[in-house]
Structures are given as structure tokens and as C-alpha cells.
């Protein structure tokens, strides 16, 4: 997660603050329940959360006032006696702006409701904008999206290329020529809204985990685009890594005598697997496309086998151009992983493409806001 940390807040809560934190935590418990399980009565919420009926009624009252939940009436199959009133997440009470900066030619974004449904979309062409110009382009895109909704905006979430720190500063994104660019702070200042920025593969894995029917058994999303990168959700949490650089699997060397990579080194997985390279490879005259894709899939499987064995993953999701990834490439990767690991490592593993398609980064950016502001994901 990339938290929006209010400046000056003590790292450890003290005295009164602890009580406020507890209240916020309890409220998140209830919202999380409604978010994941759907509408429930106050009694259901008390049972599921372990909070008292009084506390639940109090918190529900507060959330009704804020508009985050609404009363839905009694369930149809209610038994004898006075039927309990159900409360549910008011999905359109607030909207969230999600941005995807990971594509080379355009920046895309969407207005998304609290249930993860895209309400409106917008995009801007990059036209070679880099550095400060690219930051201004992000601001323009965000402003246009904010203008497209009449609901209160809960916050802005951004999936950015490159390495991003936990404060939402882009440490290094070569394509946009960003170095130590405080993107979250810039947007927060411009819009006076909470802003959360994370690497696009990390937002993708959050999107898939929350809205892609994924479990908590260990999920990897491999993004295949201009570059190749991965995001991991392990034990229900996004993996950051020691220096915030988890997921840089596109730059594992698979062929020391291979082609020069964008990173300056030689024979990285990305030199075989990036979308432009795949497109070029299958279009070469006289080439058997499916067999080329299967060869790349085998190399991918060889890189992923140690990761699968180490983590005992539940799901690997490939995200990118389906016409290239789905089919011989995915099949060969899947087969190679199983050939190169013990049955217990791969028995419970599913290798598939994303169900969210190209929305996965935008929707994942929205999850950053849901998690940071409401404590749900």
C-alpha cells in the first residue's frame, strides 16, 4: 500500500489519538464487511466484527450521515417478527479518480465508484511530454476527470511506471524522465485531495486482488507492455521489497549473450517478452508465430519456476495484449513452471490472463484510495 501520510502525525498514536484510531479501525471493519460481503443488518455486522451492537449502531449512524452507507430496507426472505433493516455500501455516494500512466503514447484515467465500477473515462496523448510537462499533463487529466463527476471525490489514485516510494514520489521513471518527482505531493497540493501513487504493476496486482476474484493465497500479476514488471500480493498485503523495488522480474538476465535491454544490460527477460518485441517477433517473414510465442513462454516459465517454488503462489496473472499472451505463450509458461517445480509447489497454482483487461491499473489505483481513506480493499 502507498499510504497518504498526513504531515506531522506522530508515528505512534498516544492517549486520545489511540481512541480515535480505534474508532477509525472499527469503522473500517464494518465498511470492509459491507464491501466484501454485501448488505447486512446491524446485528450481522456486530456478529461479524465482534463489536457491540451499541458501537455498531453508533458507527453505522455516522456512516449514514457521511453518505458512505445507506439503508436498503428488509431482506425479502425475512422470518417472523420485525424484519431487520439492511445497510449497504452506497457505491455512488463518492467517486474516486484512477489514473494509469503506464502506457507509452497516452495517459488514461477513469471516474470509478466505491464498488470499483467505472463511471466515466478520459485520456490524454503524451506526445513526448517528459519531466515537468508530463506532471502538468497528469494534472490536466486529473482535472478533466474531477470535472466529470458531481459526487464528492474521495481521492486520486495513480499507477505510474518506474520505482515509486511509499510517499508517492516517483524515484525513477525513465520513459517520463522523472527522477525523485513528488507526484503525490504535487497532485495533493493542486487538488486538495488525498493522493496515492504506486508503481503500475503494484496497482495492477491490487486491482486484480480486490476486483479480479482472487484469493489470499499469493498472487502475482505480470504486466507486459513497453516494459515487463510484476506486482505481488502475499498474505493479503502488497509486497514492497527492501528498497521498494519488488517485482523487477523483467530485468532478470535470461540470455547473457542476448540483446541489449532498455536498462543498459544484456539479455533481460524484457528483451524477449515486451509487447513491442513480441509484436516484432511474430511479424517477421517466414516465422511461425505460435512457436515463437511458445519459446518465449518457456523462457518466462524458467524465470518464474524459482519464484513459484519459493512463494508457493496461488495465482499468476498475465496482464497485457491478450492476442500475444493468451494461448501458446501462457500455455508454455504454465507447462514449464510445472515441469520445473515439485507438484506441491504448483498443484494449487492457476496461470491465467487478467479478467479486468486494460482497466486493471486504473481500478488498482482506485484500490489505493479505498484502502488509504476507508481501510477497505
102 conformational bin, left if phi > 0, alpha if psi -120 to 50, beta if neither: alpha
Q: How far is the CB of 265 from a copy of itself (least distance, A)?
A: 7
DSSP-assigned beta bridge partners for residue 122: 109
Instruction: Give the strands of the sheet with 315-319, arranged side by side.
Output: 237-238, 228-234, 219-224, 315-319, 350-353
The nearer residue to a copy of itself, 194 or 320, going by C-beta atoms, is 320
Binding interface with a copy of itself (CB under 8 A) = 12-15, 17-18, 47-52, 163, 172, 217-218, 220, 230, 232, 234-235, 237, 239-249, 251-253, 256, 263, 265, 303-307, 309-314, 339-342, 344-345, 347-349
Nearer to a copy of itself by C-beta: 108 or 341?
341
In whole angstroms, the minimum distance from the beta carbon of 140 to a copy of itself comes to 30
Give helix 16-37 / helix 42-49 axis angle, nearest 10°: 110
Q: How far is the CB of 219 from a copy of itself (least distance, A)?
A: 10
Instruction: Say if CB 86 and CB 73 are below 8 A apart.
Output: yes
Dmax over CA atoms of the chain, in Å, equals 76
| Nearest residue to 111 (alpha-carbon basis) of 98, 128, 129, 93 | 98
* Beta-strand relationship, 315-319 and 350-353: parallel
Q: Which is nearer to a copy of itself, 278 or 349 (CB)?
A: 349
Tallying the residues shown for the chain, one arrives at: 377
d(CA 140, CA 43): 46
Is 19 or 104 the residue whose CB approaches a copy of itself more closely?
19
With respect to a copy of itself, which residue has the nearer C-beta, 91 or 309? 309
The 8-class DSSP code of residue 370 comes to I
**How far, CA to CA in Å, does 332 sit from each of 96, 207, 319?**
39, 26, 16
Least Å from the CB of residue 245 to a copy of itself = 4
Please spell the DSSP secondary structure of 9-53, one letter per residue: --SS--THHHHHHHHHHHHHHHHHHHHHH--EEHHHHHHHH---H
Q: Which is nearer to a copy of itself, 84 or 244 (CB)?
A: 244
Residue 49 main-chain phi, psi, to 5 deg: -95, -20
Nearer Cβ to a copy of itself (14/286): 14
Report the alpha-carbon distance of residue 251 to residue 57 in Å, rounded: 52
**Would you say 329 and 116 are in contact if contact means Cβ atoms under 8 Å apart?**
no
The answer to whether residues 74 and 96 touch, using CB atoms and an 8 Å cutoff, is: no
Query: Rounded to the nearest whole angstrom, what is the least distance from the CB of residue 65 to a copy of itself in the complex?
Result: 25
Question: CB of 321: closest distance to a copy of itself in angstroms?
Answer: 22
Identity of the residue, 88 or 267, whose beta carbon is nearer to a copy of itself in the bound complex? 267
CB nearer to a copy of itself: pick between 321 and 348: 348
Contact between 302 and 296 (Cβ < 8 Å): no
| Least distance to a copy of itself, CB of residue 268, Å | 8
Min dist CB 241 to a copy of itself, Å, is 2
Q: Least distance (Å) from a copy of itself to the CB of residue 52?
A: 7
Amino acid at each position: 500500500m502507498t499510504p497518504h501520510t498526513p504531515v506531522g502525525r506522530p508515528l505512534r498514536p498516544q492517549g486520545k489519538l489511540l481512541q480515535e484510531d480505534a474508532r477509525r479501525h472499527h469503522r473500517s471493519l464494518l465498511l470492509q464487511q459491507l464491501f466484501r460481503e454485501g448488505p447486512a443488518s446491524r446485528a450481522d455486522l456486530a456478529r461479524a466484527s465482534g463489536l457491540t451492537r451499541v458501537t455498531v449502531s453508533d458507527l453505522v449512524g455516522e456512516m449514514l450521515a457521511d453518505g458512505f452507507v445507506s439503508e436498503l430496507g428488509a431482506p425479502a426472505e425475512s422470518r417472523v417478527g420485525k424484519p431487520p433493516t439492511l445497510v449497504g455500501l452506497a457505491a455512488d455516494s463518492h467517486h474516486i479518480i484512477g489514473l494509469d500512466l503506464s502506457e507509452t503514447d497516452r495517459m488514461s484515467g477513469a471516474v470509478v465508484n466505491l464498488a470499483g465500477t467505472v463511471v466515466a473515462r478520459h485520456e490524454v496523448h503524451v506526445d513526448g511530454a517528459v519531466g515537468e510537462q508530463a506532471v502538468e499533463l497528469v494534472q490536466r487529466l486529473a482535472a478533466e476527470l474531477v470535472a466529470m463527476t458531481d459526487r464528492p471525490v474521495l481521492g486520486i489514485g495513480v499507477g505510474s511506471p518506474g520505482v515509486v516510494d511509499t510517499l508517492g514520489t516517483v524515484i525513477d521513471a525513465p520513459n517520463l524522465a522523472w527522477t525523485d518527482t513528488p507526484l503525490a505531493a504535487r497532485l495533493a497540493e493542486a487538488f486538495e485531495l488525498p493522493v496515492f501513487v504506486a508503481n503500475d504493476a503494484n496497482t495492477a496486482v491490487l486491482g486484480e486482488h480486490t476486483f479480479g476474484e482472487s484469493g489470499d493465497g499469493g498472487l502475482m500479476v505480470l504486466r507486459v507492455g513497453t516494459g515487463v514488471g510484476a506486482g505481488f500480493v502475499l498474505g493479503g498485503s502488497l509486497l514492497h521489497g527492501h528498497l521498494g523495488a519488488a517485482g523487477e522480474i523483467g530485468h532478470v538476465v535470461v540470455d547473457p549473450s542476448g540483446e541489449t535491454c532498455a536498462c543498459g544490460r544484456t539479455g533481460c527477460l524484457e528483451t524477449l517478452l515486451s509487447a513491442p518485441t513480441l509484436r516484432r517477433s511474430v511479424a517477421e517473414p517466414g516465422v511461425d508465430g505460435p512457436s515463437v510465442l511458445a519459446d518465449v513462454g518457456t523462457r518466462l516459465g524458467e524465470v518464474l519456476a524459482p519464484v513459484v517454488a519459493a512463494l508457493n503462489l496461488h495465482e499468476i496473472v498475465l496482464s497485457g495484449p491478450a492476442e500475444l499472451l493468451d494461448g501458446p505463450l501462457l500455455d508454455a509458461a504454465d507447462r514449464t513452471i510445472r515441469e520445473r517445480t515439485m507438484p506441491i509447489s504448483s498443484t494449487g497454482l492457476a496461470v491465467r490472463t487478467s479478467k479486468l483487461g486494460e482497466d486493471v491499473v486504473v481500478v488498482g489505483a482506485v484500490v489505493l484510495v479505498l484502502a488509504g481513506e476507508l481501510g477497505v480493499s
